[in-house]
Structure 1
């Protein structure tokens, strides 16, 4: 699957992912259930890959 984004759309997605990843890290740290923590970490890895793709395509707005 491919997703086409405008520069503005990529910026909004990037910002939302960064905010969510921050919250997700907190949730991972507070989770005691091993399997649930494992699922959260997989989700985190997937979302970080998306952020990396945004940066790779020169659409990152992180300063």
Structure 2
């Protein structure tokens, strides 16, 4: 497990960045024709959503 030592301001910036990226990623998943690529994007999305949840509850 990796631990990050972030200030509250850094944590908030990271949360905002992840939320923005995840929003864009949802559109990319919907517009992707390749099933293999879509699955990789979905895996990436799930991992980032997990990290975001952990950041929000920290």
Length-normalised TM-score, structure 1: 0.85
Relative contact order (C-alpha < 8 Å, sep 6+): which is higher? 1
Q: Which runs of 5+ in 2 are unaligned?
A: none
Q: Which runs of 5+ in 1 are unaligned?
A: 58-63
Greater fraction of residues in helix: 2
Consecutive aligned runs of 4 or more in structure 1 exceeding 4 Å deviation = none
Length-normalised TM-score, structure 2: 0.92
The CA RMSD over aligned residues, in Å, is 0.7
Count of aligned positions: 57
Matched, 1:44 2:45: yes
